Amino acid sequence: MQKNRQKIVVMGLGYIGLPTASMLATKGHEVVGVDINEEAVNTINSGRIHIVEPDLDILVRSAVNSGNLRASLVPEEADTFIIAVPTPFKNGEQAHLKIPDVSYVDAATRAIAPFLREGSLIILESTSPVGTTEAIGEIVKQLRPDLAQHPGTNNHSPQVFIAHCPERVLPGHIIRELVDNDRIIGGINKASAEKARDLYNTFCNGTIFLTDSKTAEMSKLVENSFRDVNIAFANELSLISDRVGVNVWDVIELANRHPRVNILNPGPGVGGHCIAVDPWFVVSAAPEEARLIRTAREVNDHKPHWVMNKIKAKAERFKEPVIGCLGLSFKANIDDLRESPAMEITRGLISSGVGRVMACEPNVCNGSAGMELHELSQVLREADILVVLVDHDEFKTIDKELLKEKVVIDTRGVWR
């Protein structure tokens, strides 16, 4: 048995919670993964997975077969509780801001509160607005006054330890990056950060940096805001290049020959739960100051509408156009549809009635996307207009001879 074996409850078994729970289980910890989706719970307990991620199926099967991982609909008493639940937007917008919704974090905290004991560690992995980790502490203090610090105790010796360790993995490479990436751990105090570090050291090969919880929260938001701003520059370049009649990929390739220039490639927008969401957390916290970050978000949010207008303009050439949309996920070679601009574009085309829309997404089962999916061969055969929305490997190898009679709109530069 592992020397420092813990019992760990992981709240949320999605793209972050399930890999984390499985990794901890394979390192010898007893892990209970909790999710409200009964089908997902049953799937995991059978040693299978309900999401697509390379090598995750092997990791989960190993963890379940070892007896160290099981899934449940409800939490139970443990040494450590990891919260890995969604942090979406609230319904509606206030003053043109998208306001973060931390109700899932709140609910997870309230769910584990009855099972806390003296010395328990709570780790928030969900990307969250600044101050969320401290808010967890306030909820615990309210629900479990028996675990509040005793009068006169040292501030570095809390009854419950609380820290934020933001996930920073790339879909499609989650298992490798979970182990190899550097991690930031921010505690509500030094003791909390150190206790969380000891757990992550059991599976993380990257360097672990300790700080306070607010700095850790802000650091994660800044990472994704940086990416968003740079993508917005590339997307804006694509609009300008189209207006002046030059090929944006040629422009970027030549500009990047400068030793201090590294422009990213444009696309149909920005998707995923992180880059398309987290910058708004910064803007909502400091709306007057976050002018560049807000503008970048607006540029990237506008790009799908620009792509739709380009497609509709081409469709006017045909009496009954057939439009093939290649790719629905938010990035290449994964099944994740969260905040996907390709999904937004495809749904927008369908609802507009511009023509017959045929969607092809090789990484998603038919029915999972909320629309009919078609085989690539059928789309290539029947479509008048082909729109590359995601640069999946399957699309890169298409015979160019099949494209000669088609109108092609390539938002990813796959066929340039």
> Taking the CA atoms of the chain, what radius of gyration do you get in angstroms?
23
Give Cβ neighbours of residue 379 (< 8 Å, ≥ 6 apart): 324, 326, 358, 360, 386
Q: How many residues are present in the chain?
A: 416
Given the residues 98, 165, 195, 274, the one annotated as active site: 274
| E strands, 222-302, in order | none
Quote the CA–CA distance of 106 and 101 in Å, as a whole number.
10
Percent composition of the chain: helix, strand, coil (DSSP 3-state, to 5): 40, 15, 45
Residue with structure tokens 């020397």?
3
Element (DSSP H or E) covering residue 376: helix 376-382
Greatest Cα-to-Cα distance within the chain, rounded to the nearest angstrom: 80
Is 365 known to be catalytic? no
Element (DSSP H or E) covering residue 249: helix 248-255
Determine the Cα angle at 286 with ends 285 and 292, to 5°: 120
How is residue 248 written in tokens? 């944006």
Is 204 known to be catalytic? no
Quote the CA–CA distance of 17 and 83 in Å, as a whole number.
8
Q: If we measure between CA atoms, which residue out of 4, 7, 3 comes closest to residue 68?
A: 7
Determine the Cα angle at 388 with ends 364 and 226, to 5°: 85
Quote the CA–CA distance of 404 and 407 in Å, as a whole number.
8
Beta bridge partners of 28: none
Q: Is the dihedral of CA 233, 235, 238, 244 positive or negative?
A: negative
Beta bridge partners of 183: 208
Instruction: Output 395-400 pairs: Cβ under 8 A, ≥24 positions apart.
Output: 395/326, 395/327
Given the residues 220, 303, 314, 331, the one annotated as active site: 220
Please check whether residue 343 is in contact with residue 370, taking contact to mean a CB–CB distance below 8 angstroms. no
Q: If we measure between CA atoms, which residue out of 112, 44, 41, 124 comes closest to residue 79?
A: 112
- Residues marked active site are found at 220, 274
